């Protein structure tokens, strides 16, 4: 659906998203030298940002994290550069899910934190959440730990090196003798299926109504693809959640492809998981979907359904 002014509430960013108002890039270019180098100066003195350039995206996200959250983050070369608007939308949705629980101390699991460790950093810095960041790729682990250190959040964030990629919670939960309870988990799964001949080929039926995203694609093969793509990955999270029903209060994950949402909902239904809710994240031309499920008594609020 075309995003018009009237639809901004339904199709815009989360109401509390600080990026709901586009930043003044000219002011920011004056303030931040590294970001400035990536910008273009127009005749009228305003600065413009080319989102289709990978380096520009990297400096942009670094700058926004510094400006809005005072976080100092570096990305491993070639690794996925997260877009802040989307990450914020996810964190804000989690805040909404946590709010009715009225908890004093919140603990969360970041499944596949990447080199930026951005979800954990945002959760810890913005909300004081205790985060367990799981990551299997060595280079990403090193960068993530460095980013946590630079942002002085070592007492809130633990980066755990996953020994193998096939399991999600298993190795950590097995070693954790205390059997700590977590309140949520979050995940940005690898969207694409490495088994397909053209993993990145989209199948939109309507390219005019669904224009390509404004930004360049970033990230390594490992971060973007896995066997069976996001469906298989999320199914594994669901399987493991069934084995650890009460260790995590609310399980959540993002999905990149709209068609995969009903597949996941069916998978949950087949396993008699009834307490389920979904949401959408809107930023620019891009929409993402998210699912949350829980084995606890409190029903998850059905805030909005996907059309």
What is the binding site for another protein (CB under 8 A)?
26-27, 29-30, 33, 36-37, 39-47
Which three-class secondary structure state does DSSP give residue 222?
Answer: helix
Quote the least distance from Cβ 2 to another protein, whole Å.
Answer: 29
Q: Output 36 or 232, the one with its CB closest to another protein.
A: 36
Token pair 């809107």: residue: 282
Strands 47-49 and 39-41: antiparallel
Q: Output 30 or 212, the one with its CB closest to another protein.
A: 30
Sorted by sequence, the CB contacts under 8 Å of residue 293 that are 6+ apart come out as 238, 241, 250, 251, 268, 273, 275, 276, 277, 300
Number of Cβ within 10 Å of residue 299's Cβ equals: 11
Q: Which two tokens stand for residue 187?
A: 């995940």
Q: Output 39 or 118, the one with its CB closest to another protein.
A: 39
Quote the least distance from Cβ 45 to another protein, whole Å.
Answer: 5
**Separation CA 32–CA 60 (nearest Å):** 10
Quote the least distance from Cβ 32 to another protein, whole Å.
Answer: 10
Quote the least distance from Cβ 40 to another protein, whole Å.
Answer: 7
Token pair 């996925």: residue: 80
Task: Pick the closest to residue 256 from 294, 219, 301 (CA basis).
Answer: 219
List the binding residues for S-adenosyl-L-methionine.
Answer: 87, 112, 135, 188
List the binding residues.
Answer: 87, 112, 135, 188
Q: Output 11 or 51, the one with its CB closest to another protein.
A: 51
**Separation CA 139–CA 9 (nearest Å):** 39
Task: Pick the closest to residue 226 from 185, 168, 278 (CA basis).
Answer: 168
Quote the least distance from Cβ 199 to another protein, whole Å.
Answer: 37
Number of Cβ within 10 Å of residue 136's Cβ equals: 17
Q: Output 31 or 245, the one with its CB closest to another protein.
A: 31
Quote the least distance from Cβ 29 to another protein, whole Å.
Answer: 7
Q: Output 16 or 31, the one with its CB closest to another protein.
A: 31
């Amino acid at each position: 659906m075309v995003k018009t002014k009237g639809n901004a509430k339904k199709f815009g960013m989360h109401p509390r998203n600080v990026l709901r108002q586009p930043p003044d890039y000219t002011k920011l270019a004056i303030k931040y030298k590294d970001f400035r180098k990536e910008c273009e100066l127009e005749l009228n003195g305003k600065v413009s940002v080319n989102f289709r350039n990978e380096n520009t995206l990297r400096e942009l996200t670094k700058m926004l994290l510094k400006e809005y959250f005072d976080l100092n983050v570096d990305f491993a070369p070639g690794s996925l550069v997260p877009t802040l608007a989307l990450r914020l939308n996810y964190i804000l949705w989690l805040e909404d899910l946590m709010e009715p629980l009225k908890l004093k101390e919140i603990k969360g699991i970041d499944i596949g934190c990447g080199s930026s460790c951005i979800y954990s950093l945002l959760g810890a810095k913005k909300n004081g959440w205790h985060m367990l960041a799981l990551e299997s790729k060595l280079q990403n682990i090193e960068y993530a730990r460095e980013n946590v250190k630079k942002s002085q959040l070592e007492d809130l964030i633990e980066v755990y090196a996953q020994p193998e990629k096939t399991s999600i919670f298993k190795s950590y939960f097995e070693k954790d003798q205390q059997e700590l309870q977590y309140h949520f988990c979050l995940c940005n799964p690898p969207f694409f299926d490495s088994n397909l001949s053209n993993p990145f080929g989209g199948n939109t039926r309507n390219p005019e109504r669904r224009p390509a995203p404004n930004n360049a694609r970033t990230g390594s093969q490992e971060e973007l693809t896995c066997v069976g793509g996001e469906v298989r990955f999320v199914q594994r999270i669901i399987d493991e959640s069934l084995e650890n029903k009460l260790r995590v209060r609310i399980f959540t994950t993002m999905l990149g492809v709209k068609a995969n949402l009903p597949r996941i909902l069916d998978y949950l239904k087949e396993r008699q998981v009834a307490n389920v809710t979904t949401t959408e994240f809107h930023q620019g031309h891009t929409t993402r979907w998210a699912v949350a499920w829980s084995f606890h008594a409190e029903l998850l609020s059905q805030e909005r359904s996907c059309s």
